[in-house]
Amino acid sequence: MNEELDSQLSAMFDDELPQGECELLARRLSRDAALQARWGRYAAIGAVVRGDVRVGSSVAYKVHAVIAAESAPAAQRPVAFAGSGGRTASLWLRGVAGAALAASVAAVSILWLQGGLPGGAGVLVARAPVPAAAAPETRASYVVPRAVESRMTVPATELANYVVAHSEFSTPVSRRNLLSALMASEPAAVGAPEQSLGSVDDPNPHADDAR
Amino acid sequence: MQMMRVSERLAWLALALAAASSALAQEPRQWLERMNQALTSRNYDGVFSHWQDGRVEMLRIIHRNQNGQVTERLASLDGSGREFIRTGTELTCYLPDKRTVLVESQPGGAGSLLASFPSFDEKSAGFYDIQEVMRTRINRRDTRVIAVTPRDEFRYGYRLWIDETTAMPLKTQLCDAHGRIIEQVVFASLTLASHIADAAFRPEVATDGFQWLRNDPTPVGAGVPNTSALWSALKLPPGFRMTVRSAQVLPGAHDPVAHLVFTDGLASVSVFVESRSAEVPRDQPALSGVASVGSASAFSTVIDGHKVTAVGEVPPATVRFIASSVKRSELPLAAGPSGH
Amino acid sequence: MSADVSDLSLVRRVQSGDKGAFDALVLKYQHKVTKLVMRYVRNPAEAEDIAQEAFIKAYRALPQFRGDSAFYTWLYRIAINTAKNAVVSRDRNPVDYDLDMQNTDESYELQGRMKDAETPEGLVLTDEIRTTVNAAMDALPEDLRTAIVLRELEGLSYEEIAASMDCPVGTVRSRIFRAREAIDKRLREVFEGGLGRTEELG
């Protein structure tokens, strides 16, 4: 928490920061998700004080997505893709755009597991990688995280594989939703392999109706 | 003949009214059909939010149908960098965060007994209530809201905001039998295009150094038994019937799994049975609990020494039911020593 | 300090290809634009849709923005035009926003649930934000609260606030900053935490 920086942010928000400092801060603001999140919360505070109807707002979030979807030259990829592998993006989502509902306690979302299933198929040995003959030409615009563990052992992708194999037989809407779920980057800790097939019976329904 | 008796006229009127009301009752279903048609046959490029389990992702979908050949690209806008690209025969999953590309060959139709695409028919109607709930506007488009309500707890329901002009679903909710919303997709922008160039379907991921894993959709080899014919389900939840029976070797795996598909016309459940049981002790108790991938449920158990997993966009109880009722069939000719 | 320096430095970044800078502008003005649009359409959800459209129009037109007027003035005009056009096209094809539904209990229930999901995608907890901010404001020392109210509600500049509170400009800046900090501390829990909320689930 850099207080000087935050104090500048507050002044810039009020348009009371000298130009030179504005230029510098603007550059940081566009890259730093946490700083943007704070900036967004300043706006929310103002909205409450003025009594605006829609205090939380998804407008920024949607506008961001629509603009992000437009092709960007490689050099100007949104900050979310720079190196940190997605954490920055989820910070932006949650911090800036609004509150994340408390995750349902029971449901475990399994995507790609490490290390093999307990008592199951064991460790799946990687096949020799198929040469990229089938790979379409790619634009190298995504910065791949450099620190990656040894990949000799295939992550036990069984469950996600099953979902992918199953998706062919779903309705268009279901398939889209299923594949969308697989698009998410998983939370930092997926959990020990023992939990891999879900340690809970029949996940609880969501607490939406608590409101 | 011209002078119909009053009673005849009334009877005729009653028939006409009955026909008219059933035509109206058809309407909501027709909206669903139009929607599925639009999702498959139109060209579109959209950005949508996917809400599930308290998390939101923004995704982009680009879809093209060129003379029946479907190409589709789904890309994460939130930093995972993941992309899925479907062509007529393959689904390629780019996972930059895992430095892996999965290629799932989907010959489509191989091994199907019936059409593999769930189709909603009279029988299915017995298990779902379909109603037009209201007309409203989303993003300033007129939409019809169609509610598909399950009649029991074995399946999920939907609420669909279907654009009146294009029949595209601008907003979709998946609900459980109590009406609680489990998943929601809302388009933030959607463009229907007359033409989409090939370039739009190229992934934006550099795959140098990635491992590529492919499935083998038609495992053959000496001694590989006709895996899938060994298995079937003893009991199924009401309305579910088997529509596909096949086998494949999943990406990164060695041995084929049998793949059976059951559907009630709307929801579908896949059952995978592993052919090798070497590492699974015969009397291992069922692996714990139900897992989920997004709003889909999965349940694994061990039957006759083989690991059986059911996956589908249904409530947990349903996958548990189906997986647990899988049974090895009797073969007319002994395939050799039992248990391979 | 000339007005609009802050916005202009962000605008210049957007014009050189920095999309993140546009996000910052949207974040700052989304409430104001939505409120403005609501003069033309009463339904908040529809207003947000129009606001979204206005921002996207602004983004596309930004390369042509020369700084002849303040950024917000320019954005304001775009928002009004977008809202007016929306109303015109809506009036051509009137569809009731009021629900056209059967009068059964079940359908009312349906309506209630849909409203929940209307605050979409898990994003917005308007009431919670409002409650949190108000509670934090109440807890502020008077000089901090006064400073931020004069700034946000009355729109006074630091100089004007300094005059009104009879203190140096530097003190005004500091008070507003500290007020925001105190409120933000509580707000962060709403925006980022799942932790704070699991207690509700029991």
Mean pLDDT, residues C64-86: 92
Residue B226 CA to residue B217 CA, distance in Å, equals 13
Of C13, C34, C192, which is closest to A95 when you measure between CB atoms? C192
Distance CA C178, CA B230 (A): 71
Residue of chain A with shortest Cα separation from B245: A169
Report chain B residues whose CB lies below 8 A from the CB of C101.
Answer: 133-134
Nearest to A136 among B202, B211, B253 (CB): B202
CB-CB: which of A6, A16, A26 is closest to C10? A26
CA-CA distance, B219 to C145, in Å (whole number)? Answer: 72
Residues of A in contact with C174 (CB under 8 A): 7
User: Residue B333: what pLDDT?
Assistant: 43
Kindly state whether B261 is in contact with chain A, defined as any CB-CB distance less than 8 angstroms: yes
Q: Provide the phi-psi class of C200: left if phi over 0, else alpha when psi is between -120 and 50, else beta.
A: alpha
Average pLDDT over residues B48-54: 82
Q: Is A106 on the interface with B (CB under 8 A)?
A: no
Nearest CA in chain A to B306: A120
Whole-number pLDDT of residue A17: 94
As given in the structure block, the two tokens for residue C186 are 């509580």
pLDDT of the residue at C114: 37
pLDDT at B255: 79
pLDDT score of B134? 87
Residue of C nearest to B55 (CA): C122
Alpha-carbon torsion, ordered B179, B185, B188, B194, to 10 deg: -120
Min Cα separation C91/chain A (Å): 24
- The DSSP call for residue B249 is B
Number of inter-chain CB pairs under 8 A, A vs C: 233
- What's the pLDDT score for residue C53? 92
**Cβ distance of B134 and C90 shorter than 8 Å:** no
Contacting subunits of A (3+ beta carbon pairs below 8 A): B, C
Residues in chain B with CB shorter than 8 Å from the CB of C52 are: 188
Disruptive mutation site among A148, A176, A208 for chain B (greatest number of B CBs within 10 Å): A176
Predicted pLDDT of residue A72: 43
Contact A54, C34 (CB under 8 A): yes
| C20, C34, C137 member nearest A31 (Cβ) | C20
Rg (CA), chain B: 23
Distance between CA atoms of residues C151 and C101, nearest Å: 45
Residue C140 phi, psi (nearest 5): -75, 150
DSSP 3-state of C78: helix
Beta bridge partners of B192: B44
Is B195 in a helix, a strand, or coil? coil
Per-residue pLDDT, C173 = 97
Q: For A182, which of B118, B189, B293 is closest by C-beta distance?
A: B293
pLDDT at A18 over 70: yes
DSSP per-residue codes, B171-209:
EEEEE-TT--EEEEEEEEEEEE-S---GGGGS-----TT
Chain A interface includes C154 (CB < 8 A): no
What sign does the CA torsion over C89, C91, C97, C99 have?
Answer: negative
Subunits in contact with chain B (3 or more CB pairs closer than 8 Å): A, C
Smallest CA–CA distance, residue B36 to chain A, in Å, is 7
Joined together, the tokens standing for residue B317 give: 């109880």
Q: Does C49 contact B at CB distance below 8 Å? A: yes
The CA distance from A58 to B302, in Å, is 46
Q: What is the pLDDT of residues A95-141, one digit of tens each?
A: 333 332 222 111 111 222 222 223 223 222 222 233 333 333 333 33
Res. A26: pLDDT tops 70: yes
The torsion region of residue B304 among left (phi > 0), alpha (psi -120 to 50) and beta comes to left
Position with higher pLDDT, B260 vs A209: B260
| Res B131 pLDDT > 50 | yes
Chain-chain contact of B316 with A103 (C-beta, under 8 angstroms): no
pLDDT of residue C9 exceeding 90, the answer is: yes
Q: Is C88 exposed, middle or buried (0-12, 13-18, 19+ CB in 10 A)?
A: exposed
Q: Is the pLDDT of residue C106 over 80?
A: no
Compute the average pLDDT of residues B266-284.
Answer: 71
pLDDT tens-place string over residues A159-210: 778 888 888 888 888 889 888 888 875 532 222 232 233 333 333 434 333 3
Task: Indicate the average pLDDT of chain A.
Answer: 57
**B74 and B82 in contact (C-beta within 8 Å)?**
no
Compute the Cα dihedral for C184, C187, C192, C197 and give only its sign.
positive
Q: Do B134 and C101 touch (CB under 8 A)?
A: yes
Q: Is the pLDDT of residue A86 over 50?
A: no
- Length of chain B in terms of residues written: 340
The Cβ of residue C106 has, within 10 Å, a number of other Cβ atoms equal to: 14
Predicted ipTM?
Answer: 0.82
CA torsion sign, A72 to A77 to A81 to A87? negative
Task: Give the Å distances, CA to CA, from B31 to B136, B148, B164, B228, B313.
Answer: 15, 11, 9, 36, 21
Average pLDDT over residues B231-236: 88
Does the CB of B108 have a partner CB in chain C at under 8 Å? Answer: no
- Residue among B136, B200, B129, B133 nearest B163 (CA): B136
Token representation of residue B111: 């091994």
A-facing residues of C in 172-191 (CB < 8 A) are 173-174, 176-177, 180-181, 183-184, 187-188, 190-191
Dihedral sign from CA coordinates of C163, C164, C165, C170:
negative
Neighbouring chains to C with at least 3 Cβ pairs closer than 8 Å: A, B
Q: Could you give the dihedral angle defined by the CA atoms of residues B21, B150, B60 and B259, in that order, rounded to the nearest 10 degrees?
A: -120
> Is B106's pLDDT higher than 90?
no
**pLDDT tens, residue by residue, A141-164:** 344 443 333 222 222 356 778 888
**Nearest CB to B60: which of A69, A203, A209?**
A69
Compare C121 and B50 and report the one with higher pLDDT: B50
> C83 with C36: CB under 8 angstroms?
yes
Burial class (CB in 10 A: 0-12, 13-18, 19+), C91: exposed
Q: How far is C100 from chain A (nearest CA, A)?
A: 24
Which one, of A11, B301, B174, lies nearest residue C117 by Cα?
B174
Percent of chain B exceeding pLDDT 90 equals 19
Quick: pLDDT tens for B108-117: 543 333 334 5
Residue that the structure tokens 């003035």 belong to = C73
Quote the pLDDT of residue B225: 52
pLDDT at C157: 94
Q: What is the pLDDT of residue A25?
A: 95
What CA–CA distance (Å, rounded) separates B57 from A180?
Answer: 8
Exposure of A209 in the CB half-sphere (CA atoms within 13 A): 14
Mutate to test the interface with C, among B48, B78, B130, B139 (most CBs of C within 10 A): B139
- Nearest by CB to residue B290, choosing from A127, A162, A203, is A203
**A47-61, A90-104, B51-65, C69-83: which is most confident:** C69-83
Judged by a CB distance cut-off of 8 A, whether residue B276 touches chain A is: yes
Identify the closest residue of chain A to B302 by CA–CA distance.
A120
Q: Which of C52, C55, C95, C119 to mutate to test the interface with B (most CBs of B within 10 A)?
A: C95
CB C132 within 8 A of CB C187: yes
pTM: 0.61
pLDDT at B203 over 70: yes
Q: Which residues are bridge partners to B148 per DSSP?
A: B130, B158
